[in-house]
Structure 1
Amino acid sequence: MSGKLIQPPSMAASRGAISRRTGDAKMLLSFSNFNRKTLSFSDNPLRLRPVFIGKVPEQSSASSPNEQEEEDEVLAVSQIKEELYEALKGINRGIFGIKSEKKAEIERLVNLLECRNPTPEPTGELDKIGGCWRLIYSTITVLGSKRTKLGLRDFVSLGDLLQQIDIAQGKTVHVLKFDVRGLNLLDGEFRIVASFKIISKSSVEITYESSTIVPDQLMNIFRKNMNLLLGIFNPEGLFEISYLDEDLKVGRDGKGNVFVLERTE
């Protein structure tokens, strides 16, 4: 009687398995317990395709500061402007205040534009500066008692804020349009006339000359608060043009206020 030695399963066999089926050209090899991933191969006469099955690391929806900087670097000017216009929707130019998060977002986009300024010496290309510009954002605000005294909380609405620049005369006219409920003053406006002179490759000095309010009914409303109105909107002082192209201008005054204007007729 002959004895037959039975071998116990090897350690390798406990980790993997090879399964064959008669008449089938497919062979499945499965290796597990390799960094908690499974590696499978499907073998057929025509191709061998590896398939990796594993857990994909979860990614946070919030970008890190470094990732944000990298994304900012590749943004084109057209995309930045598009995002800026989107951020400015519904905030009424920021005149009556905005949330800090929104302000930070706008400031970031403005900074990105300034880093890509196509006209680094704007005062040397005055033809690009002249014409009419409309304010679409400013960090100047009219809040609290100032807004109440000017009637901008109740019956006076602030319309377009325009900047008309006459290069030949060296003059600027700042126009604030108002609508007054009940008086139907659709064309009421406050005009500030100033002169300017070039003081550097990117900045000018603005000097106040005069101001008027028309029609008389509107003047009567603001007469008591003319100094307040001028204190807020008088453009006098240093103005640096930090970004300029065919249809958009960004500037900063001597107090650090930011102004974003678009060209208009």
Structure 2
Amino acid sequence: MLKKTALLDAIAGTNRGLLATQQQKQAILAAIATLEDLNPTPRPVEAPNLLEGNWRLLYTTSKALLNLDRVPVYKLGQIYQCIRVETTSVYNIAEIYGLPYLEGLVSVAAKFAPVSERRVQVKFQRSIVGLQKLIGYTSPANFIQQIEAGKKFTAIDVPIQSDTQTGWLDITYLDNDMRIGRGNEGSVFVLSKT
């Protein structure tokens, strides 16, 4: 699809939005809006086979995510959002790189509940921040298996109990390998299935 290729071309070289100029941001948002108008899955929340899986972040306007790159001596690696439809679980995982053997990981586990055919309410439940080596991190899938098995990690591993730690996400485009979402803080997310 030409519109999808146009979006991917616009995103290329922006390092998930970290390097995007104001002009590039405007062009990307226009390409996103064009693609959203062509959404082949008008009821994405009711398409579990498409939602399920591990998604890699290609582009975002989320300051919370992009600010992870501002930690001294560290650089933001891959960011994943892994959705497990059967357990209504979502795992956000950001890999952080810098000094050898001190690669980090920032992760949040949450539950989601459908609100409409394209919106989900998200309630954050657990935050895990630590060194990949100490956590035993090798991949998002392996890490999620450990979380689901109830493992307590050698890291800052804390439950999130506040009712204020919630948000919502509109899934505005969904096909076999791309998902676009818009969050309650005005952020846009473009992800590809891994």
Question: What's the TM-score once normalised by structure 1's chain length?
Answer: 0.58
Q: Which residue, 187, 190, 193 being the options, matches 1:260?
A: 190
Cα pair distance change 1:100/1:239, threshold 3 Å: same
Q: Which residue, 21, 31, 36 being the options, matches 1:99?
A: 21
Q: How does 1:114-125 map to 2 (within 5 A)?
A: 114-125=36-47
Distance 1:199 1:257 in 2: 19
- Is 2:60 the partner of 1:138? yes
SS at 1:237 equivalent: strand
Partner of 2:94: 176
Query: Between Structure 1 and Structure 2, whose CA radius of gyration is higher?
Result: 1
Q: How does 1:28-39 map to 2 (within 5 A)?
A: none
Distance 1:189 1:153 in 2: 13
- Is 2:85 the partner of 1:167? yes
Q: How does 1:146-165 map to 2 (within 5 A)?
A: 147=67, 152=70, 154-165=72-83
> Shift of residue 153 of structure 1?
5.5
Q: What whole-Å deviation, never above 9, does each CA across 1:151-178 have from its counterpart, x for those lacking one?
A: 7364101101100111111111100101
- Is 2:177 the partner of 1:242? no
**Identical-pair percentage:** 30
SS at 2:55 equivalent: strand
Amino acid at match of 1:92: N
Q: Gaps (5+ residues) in structure 1?
A: 1-77, 224-229
Q: Gaps (5+ residues) in structure 2?
A: 136-154
Amino acid at match of 2:101: N
Question: What's the TM-score once normalised by structure 2's chain length?
Answer: 0.78
Distance 2:107 2:37 in 1: 33
Q: How does 1:1-265 map to 2 (within 5 A)?
A: 78-94=1-17, 96=18, 98-141=20-63, 147=67, 152=70, 154-181=72-99, 183-186=100-103, 188-215=104-131, 236-264=166-194
Cα pair distance change 1:216/1:167, threshold 3 Å: closer
SS at 2:34 equivalent: helix
Distance 2:42 2:170 in 1: 11
Amino acid at match of 1:244: L
> Shift of residue 141 of structure 1?
2.8
2:91 touches 2:110 (CA, 8 Å); kept in 1?
yes
Amino acid at match of 2:8: Y
SS at 1:184 equivalent: coil
2:81 touches 2:93 (CA, 8 Å); kept in 1?
yes
> Shift of residue 83 of structure 1?
1.4
SS at 1:93 equivalent: coil
Amino acid at match of 1:184: Y
Structure with larger RCO (C-alpha < 8 A, sep 6+) = 2
1:97 touches 1:141 (CA, 8 Å); kept in 2?
no
Q: What whole-Å deviation, never above 9, does each CA across 1:110-131 have from its counterpart, x for those lacking one?
A: 0111000000001111111010
Q: Which runs of 4+ in 1 moved over 6 A?
A: 216-219
